[in-house]
Amino acid sequence: MTDAITPDQVLRYLGDVDYPAGKEVLVAAAEQAGAPEAVIRSLRAIPPVEYRNRAEVARSVPGDPAAGRSASRAAEQARTRTPAGVAEHMREPREDRGDGTRHSG
């Protein structure tokens, strides 16, 4: 198994979790289920919030850039801090382009 983990791979080790559950509960459950170190690292990288369900965990797991988006798209999202799946019209406008106008997306 490589270090690039998909959310589905992580969720395989969280079958016995009762939600809502915090990050530490998720990490402990994965460890108990015998998850590989890459899965544990992925769970340790999620925000320390309470997750209401498996879908919220899946959205928070750092993903493989090759799984559904290009490396350039992943870099742009990291640069602009725009989460995947946010419609362009809902994004924060970017700063000036240099010509005094603003643009979004």
pLDDT tens per residue across span 8-54: 999 999 999 999 999 999 999 999 999 999 999 999 999 999 999 99
Q: Which pTM does this prediction carry?
A: 0.59
DSSP letter, residue 46: S
How many CA atoms, within 13 angstroms, populate the side-chain half-sphere of residue 19? 12
Backbone dihedral angles phi then psi of residue 81, each to the nearest 5 degrees: 55, 35
pLDDT tens per residue across span 48-78: 999 999 999 999 998 654 555 566 666 666 6
Structural tokens at position 96: 């000036």
Give the span between the Cα atoms of 93 and 54, in whole angstroms.
31
Residue with tokens 């490589």: 2
